Amino acid sequence: MKKYKAIFFDWDGTAVLNRRAPVDNVISKMIPLLDKGIKLFIISGTTYENIAGGSLHSLIPVNCLKNLFLGLGRGAFNLGFNDSGKLIELYTNVPDIELRLRIDKAAFEVHQYLLKHYGLKTDIVFSRPNYCKVDLMVDNDRKENLFLQSDEIGRVHDLLSRHGYTYGLAGLLELARKIGKQNDIDIIPTTDAKYLEMGITTKGDNVNYFMQHVVEKNSITSSECCFWGDEFRFLAEGVPGSDAYMITSVSSDCDFFDVSGEMSLLPNNVMGVGGSIESFHKFLEQQLNLY
């Protein structure tokens, strides 16, 4: 087992089963690593309130928090903690109101296009700070498991086909980019099958910030960094999973691990280890034993 000095990981589906699941197990494994000076980075599309119920700072000793960082909101927020354990914004990338309204308009035009030409009804979540979520499967309630489910790729393709849309998820990504251009926005669309997300940043923006401002400044090399997630796999040709956006030009020489159990369609530099959250927890234990 290789020793790492910087560990990046997704939260829902990798560190915990879902955002409402108990966090004690993973927190108990994070604390001793943080105490040893290992840099831990939670990279998630959600908000701080959905990470351990917004109480992460109260579950970890103050002296350990200086080594914990969060990249949240699909590139919107890069967070850390000051010496007194207070959560601080290191860098934010939230569009101003004019750009935000153009993103909203582009998402609504995708909704209109699918309804007008294919009779496909969608809902839109407008409340995210830097992107919109177009719900492609409005009758599919994920309940507390707000990440890709094993049967959803097939279900969304069936839904699109029933409505006569033959271009698949890749076609929807291209549609989002095209409509973005019409609104003078370089939309970077992503999808987890249920949602088509339309924004100007991704998890990759969080990763690049931390690689440049934390990893490099602490003289940590790429070979000493690893990334863990459960959504690296391609959903279809040309449609990467949300965690695959953590693979950037800055991070590509690091090590990547996927716990989903889906061994097919993984990017070439990602190792499929399966085992869900237990694999990640075991890895944290193994890392501690190396120090």
pLDDT of amino acid 150: 58
Rounded to the nearest integer, the mean pLDDT of the chain is 94
Question: Are 226 and 253 a contacting pair, CB within 8 Å?
Answer: no
Question: Are 42 and 15 a contacting pair, CB within 8 Å?
Answer: yes
pLDDT of amino acid 68: 99
Is residue 154 very low, low, confident or very high in pLDDT (cuts 50, 70, 90)? confident
> What is the rounded distance in angstroms from the CA atom of residue 228 to the CA atom of residue 243?
8
pLDDT of amino acid 20: 84
pLDDT of amino acid 226: 99
CA angle 96/99/104 to nearest 5° reads 115
> What is the rounded distance in angstroms from the CA atom of residue 124 to the CA atom of residue 133?
6
Check pLDDT > 60 for residue 148: no
Check pLDDT > 50 for residue 79: yes
Question: What is 164-233 written as a DSSP string?
Answer: T--SHHHHHHHHHHHHHHHTT---EEEE-SSEEEEES--HHHHHHHHIIIIIGGGT--GGGEEEEES--S
> What is the rounded distance in angstroms from the CA atom of residue 175 to the CA atom of residue 278?
38
- 1-15, 120-134, 136-150, 246-260: which range is least confident on average? 136-150
> What is the rounded distance in angstroms from the CA atom of residue 198 to the CA atom of residue 39?
30
Token digits of residue 264: 């097919």
> What is the rounded distance in angstroms from the CA atom of residue 176 to the CA atom of residue 9?
28
pLDDT of amino acid 140: 61
Question: Are 210 and 69 a contacting pair, CB within 8 Å?
Answer: yes
Q: What is the mean pLDDT of residues 96-109?
A: 98
Token digits of residue 96: 């101003």
pLDDT of amino acid 145: 47
Is residue 281 very low, low, confident or very high in pLDDT (cuts 50, 70, 90)? very high
For the whole model, what pTM was predicted? 0.93
Place of tokens 């004690």: 24
Check pLDDT > 90 for residue 184: yes
Beta-bridged to residue 190, according to DSSP, are 197
Question: Are 82 and 178 a contacting pair, CB within 8 Å?
Answer: no
Percent of the chain with pLDDT over 90: 86
DSSP state for residue 214 in the 8-state scheme: I
Percent of the chain with pLDDT over 70: 96
Compute CA 14 distance to the chain's CA centroid, rounded to the nearest angstrom: 11
pLDDT digits (tens, 9 = 90+) for 42-76: 999 989 999 999 999 999 999 999 999 999 999 99
